[in-house]
Amino acid sequence: MGNELKQTIKEMVAVGKGILAADESVKTATKRLASINVESTEETRRQYRNLMLTSPEIEKYICGVILFEETLSQKSDSGILFPKLLAQRGIVPGIKVDEGLAEFEGSIEQYTKGLDGLGERLEKYKEYGCRFAKWRAVYSISETTPTEMAIRRNAQDLAKYAKTCQEHGVVPIVEPEVLIDGAHSIDACHKATEKVLREVFSALKRENVMIDCAILKPSMVISGKEANNRAGVDEVAKRTIKVLKANVPPELPSINFLSGGQTPQEATAHLNRMHTLNESLPWYVSFSYARALQDPALKAWQGKDENIRAAQQAFLKRAKLNSLAAMGKYKEEMENMDLDMAILN
Ligand code: 13P
């Protein structure tokens, strides 16, 4: 079992590569498609996933893709099951295994559903070729939250999920997301992230999760979306690395950030800055973005066949730029460069 996990980690910790999160639930996918006035059906969701997953040469920048259950049994235009198509391109297929959020009684805070029957589901997903999984917990920042209760419960569930994954030979991506929603300061985000990460890693330890066979997908330490005087790129990068160094054991192989509502450019610039701070990082630091990789492609597509190429170009551009950022080689002026220009050397 250990070897299986180690092999997956080896393929997913590749310099200059990151993870594409394409695991939107039907509800979230419907929201995304509505933003371009496309009706959400099994077929339009398949077409959209087909567009991204068949983009030429994504394997240069993407080493893993997180899929949603529905996509596992869908096929590309060329008739190949998506997980198989990814594996053929040297990309590790993964699966979102949580079953969404529920509210604690009498509270605005949320926990994540999906622990019941997780082992059986993992076995089914493995038959489709999935080798890693994702579970997302969320924490909102307000005067009274996140509470100790929510922090403890979500950490415990993340740890139980991670343990179950490893018992089934599946690498767990542990995703504690401190939400960007609100007008809070970067300081409030820093404090909340500190508490959340501390509790997550102590729960993982209590459950005997093998830290060297897991991946962390955290949010960055960032000002609330509606805050005045939002912190700049430098401060976000410095504070994020600081909180990670204080709470994440060095034996963890990889940290792959979520984008969490940052603009695509912000998400790329922040990741890049973390690599240019001149600090030694004990883990690989990269991306596992959904919106920051997909949004420009979604806008370019508009549900029209004649736009597929332009949409793939837009997607590849974000993938390339984030790949460069994961090596500290991104520059803002690249945003305006034509994709065909040799921006990779
Ligand atoms: P975003 O990058 O859009 O935040 O999505 C990442 C993700 O997987 C959320 O669970």
pLDDT digits (tens, 9 = 90+) for 92-140: 999 999 999 999 998 999 999 999 999 999 999 999 999 999 999 999 9
Residues in the chain: 345
Q: Which of 175, 177, 199, 317 is catalytic?
A: 175
CA of 259 to the centre of ligand 1 (A): 6
Statement: residue 343 has pLDDT above 70? no
- 27 assigned to active site: no
Q: Largest Cα–Cα distance in the chain?
A: 55
Quick one: 287 exposed, middle or buried, by C-beta within 10 A (0-12, 13-18, 19+)? buried
Numbers of helices and strands, H then E, in the chain: 12, 10
Q: What is the pLDDT of residue 339?
A: 61
What single string gives the DSSP state of each residue in 49-79?
HHHHHTSTTGGGTEEEEEE-HHHHT-B-TTS
Determine if ligand 1 sits within 6 Å of the CB of residue 18. Answer: no
CATH of the domain at 96: 3.20.20.70
Q: Are 23 and 134 in contact (CB under 8 A)?
A: yes
Residue 340 confidence class, pLDDT cut points 50, 70, 90: low
Number of folded domains that form the chain: 1
- Answer with the residue of higher pLDDT: 337 or 33: 33
Q: How far apart are CA 14 and CA 63, in angstroms?
A: 7
Residue of minimum CA distance from atom 4 in ligand 1: 260
Determine if ligand 1 sits within 6 Å of the CB of residue 20. Answer: no
Q: Of 281, 290, 262, nearest to 32 (Cα)?
A: 290
Which atom of ligand 1 is closest in space to residue 175's alpha carbon?
10
In terms of pTM, does the model score above 0.95? yes
Give the count of beta carbons closer than 10 Å to the beta carbon of residue 143: 6
Statement: residue 342 has pLDDT above 50? no
The residues near 154 (Cβ < 8 Å, ≥ 6 apart) are: 111, 112, 137, 138, 139, 176, 196, 200
What percent of the chain stands above pLDDT 70? 98
**Helix (H), strand (E) at residue 281:** none
Q: What is the pLDDT of residue 336?
A: 93
Q: What is the identity of the amino acid at 168?
A: H
CA of 97 to the centre of ligand 1 (A): 14
Q: Of 229, 281, 227, nearest to 257 (Cα)?
A: 281
Q: What letter would DSSP give residue 303?
A: T
**Helix (H), strand (E) at residue 18:** strand 18-22
Statement: residue 171 has pLDDT above 60? yes
Q: What is the pLDDT of residue 344?
A: 36
Determine if ligand 1 sits within 6 Å of the CB of residue 258. Answer: yes
The residues near 122 (Cβ < 8 Å, ≥ 6 apart) are: 97, 133, 164, 165, 168, 170
Which atom of ligand 1 is closest in space to residue 291's alpha carbon?
3
- Answer with the residue of higher pLDDT: 81 or 341: 81
What's the average model confidence in pLDDT over 23-37? 98
3-state SS of 219-266 is CCCCCCCCCCCCCCHHHHHHHHHHHHHHHCCCCCCEEEECCCCCCHHH
Determine if ligand 1 sits within 6 Å of the CB of residue 259. Answer: yes
Count how many Cα atoms sit within 13 Å of the Cα of residue 117 in the half-sphere of its side chain.
Answer: 6
Could you tell me the residue range of the domain that residue 250 belongs to? 2-344
- 17 assigned to active site: no
